[in-house]
Amino acid sequence: MDTVNGTGASRGGRHAVVIGGSLAGLLAAHVLADHADRVTIVERDRLPQGPEPRGGVPQSRHTHVLIPGGQRAYDELLPGFCDELMAHGAPRVAAPTDLAHWQAGRWFRRTEETAYFISPTRPLLEWLVRRRVLANPRIEVVQGTETVGLVGDASRVRGVLLRERGAAAVAVGREPQPLAADLVVDASGRSSKAADWLTALGAEPPVEETLETGLAYATRVYRTGEDGDAQAHFIVPNPGQTYGAVVLPVESERWMVTMWGLRGAEPPLDDRGFTEFSDRLPHPITRQFLDAAKADAPALAYRTTANIRRRYDRPGRRPAGFLATGDAQCVFNPIYGQGMTVAAFSALALRDALGENRRTPTTGRVQKAMYAASRQAWDISAGSDKNMPTASGSAARSTLADRVSGWYLGRVEARAPGDPAVGRVFRDVLYLSAPVSALFAPRIAKAVLFGPVRPTPQEPPMRPESV
């Protein structure tokens, strides 16, 4: 297979095109700027000048968290980024100290902090990344323009076909225009059309693995007017209790409340319906928060929560010079809070693969590295979702290995709320800062296999144990 960078066929030296100005696209462009003479980001939207939502990120108005694994990745790519994010008001939430966390029928003890996550609004985080990345003079953005195809053939992609968006462009019947490139990276997100584009070149599209639960959620922003008494909390659904909620602070002294249920039992968007939906949860803690708070914006729905993995890493007749990253390669059920982190993991994998001196960075080798960067997040998200009663799709079938690991992980889940040592490793794995193998370390395995299920609070712990 030909090399990733090609032969410098475009004018002005090596040129990389990134489809989509998403987080994954911005971070990929940031990495590519060290290897190409110029990088062009092609973005359908007009990018906002500040921390504002944009149409191409429909989930941007919902709850987001930057978990510890993601914090390290962003700081490695953009040094000092997390401090900058918190300096702009993004709250730091200590785990388990600052949270009332309900899972598998039990409340976690609020013991000493072992990790923390940051809970910004998505527009703030995206704006700070965009501001950093686009300060590089090698990177430019073509806005208000959509990619409608690839240029090249089944052996190599040599560019993209672009068309200006908007009614005026359609009215005059403008034909798509080619933009030459030595490397094209698809960061167009969950709705990527790359499979069709590859087919049009005579190449093979990737096999898709899907897992859908029908989960749907809604989010509303609140202000509390209270000083320190508002309660950040998680209520995690399970196969026997399919309703969930997360209540977290964000910048500007606001709180985000997201609640979810399976399709047909999703949260309503009207004032009364949204509030009363919280009565379906296994504890009234969310209802108590809503009754004490004041809504700051209307409730908004999000319904697209399927896990989708496009297996570009597998053998097939696919062209050199084309890669997929972010949600265009692997997208997760958003309730697990992994997407922003995996976008950075994929950029680090791209950086490391392109910077390897011992071997030529072929397209296939780089794509395999980016697949590996998303694998643990997929195993967590899809592995949990396949246990839901409504799970369907090509990845929904449970294997014998799934059942054995599920038995063990069920024991982990039962002990994590009351055993601080098990809870710490449990969080580290979920927060993508430790491998799954950490759950099988001898000390943890002994506690999981032979240790008792320790007592936990009967009601949500409203204060840390140290207070």
Residue 260 has pLDDT above 80, yes or no: yes
Comparing 358 with 318, the larger pLDDT belongs to: 318
What whole-number distance in Å separates Cα of residue 388 and Cα of residue 260? 14
Output the pLDDT for position 225: 72
Mind listing the pLDDT tens digit for each residue in 115-142?
Answer: 999 999 999 999 999 999 999 999 999 9
Residue 278 and residue 286 in contact, taking contact as beta carbons nearer than 8 Å: yes
Q: Among 344, 310, 316, 315, which residue's Cα sits nearest to residue 330?
A: 310
Tokens for 84? 């900058």
Output the pLDDT for position 408: 97
Question: Stretch 50-54: mean pLDDT, rounded?
Answer: 93
Mind listing the pLDDT tens digit for each residue in 329-365?
Answer: 999 999 999 999 999 999 999 999 999 888 778 999 9
What whole-number distance in Å separates Cα of residue 236 and Cα of residue 385? 12
Confidence of residue 56 (pLDDT cuts 50, 70, 90): confident
Residue 380 has pLDDT above 50, yes or no: yes
Place of tokens 């729905």: 301
Residue 169 has pLDDT above 90, yes or no: no
Question: Stretch 70-78: mean pLDDT, rounded?
Answer: 98
Q: Among 94, 87, 45, which residue's Cα sits nearest to residue 65?
A: 94
Q: Which domains, from first to last, does the chain contain?
A: 15-60+128-210+306-374 (3.50.50.60), 214-302 (3.30.70.2450)
What whole-number distance in Å separates Cα of residue 450 and Cα of residue 441? 14
* DSSP states along 34-69: TTSSEEEEE-SSPPPSSS---TT-GGGGS---B-HH
Output the pLDDT for position 2: 42
Tokens for 99? 């949270």
* DSSP states along 281-338: SSSTHHHHHHHHSEE-S--EEE----EEEE-TTS--S--BTEEE-GGGTEE--GGG--
Burial 92-110 (b: 16+ CB within 10 A, else e): ebbbbbbbbbbbeebbbbb
Residue 111 has pLDDT above 90, yes or no: yes
Residue 259 has pLDDT above 80, yes or no: yes
Q: At 273, phi and psi to the nearest 5?
A: -65, -40
Residue 324 and residue 7 in contact, taking contact as beta carbons nearer than 8 Å: no
DSSP 279: G
Q: Among 164, 166, 183, 186, which residue's Cα sits nearest to residue 175?
A: 164
Confidence of residue 172 (pLDDT cuts 50, 70, 90): low
Q: Among 65, 27, 22, which residue's Cα sits nearest to residue 42?
A: 22
Cα 395 to Cα 178, 214, 305, 318, distances in angstroms: 37, 14, 14, 23
Output the pLDDT for position 167: 52
Output the pLDDT for position 5: 56
Question: Stretch 314-335: mean pLDDT, rounded?
Answer: 96
9 burial via Cβ count (<10 Å: 0-12, 13-18, 19+): middle
Mean of all residue pLDDT scores within the chain: 93
Tokens for 258? 């997201």
- The residues near 228 (Cβ < 8 Å, ≥ 6 apart) are none
In angstroms, how far is the first alpha carbon of the chain from the final one? 61
What whole-number distance in Å separates Cα of residue 251 and Cα of residue 108? 26
CA dihedral in degrees (292, 297, 301, 302; nearest 10)? Answer: -100
Tokens for 440? 């099988």
Strands 15-19 and 38-42: parallel
Residue 180 has pLDDT above 80, yes or no: yes
Question: Stretch 409-423: mean pLDDT, rounded?
Answer: 97
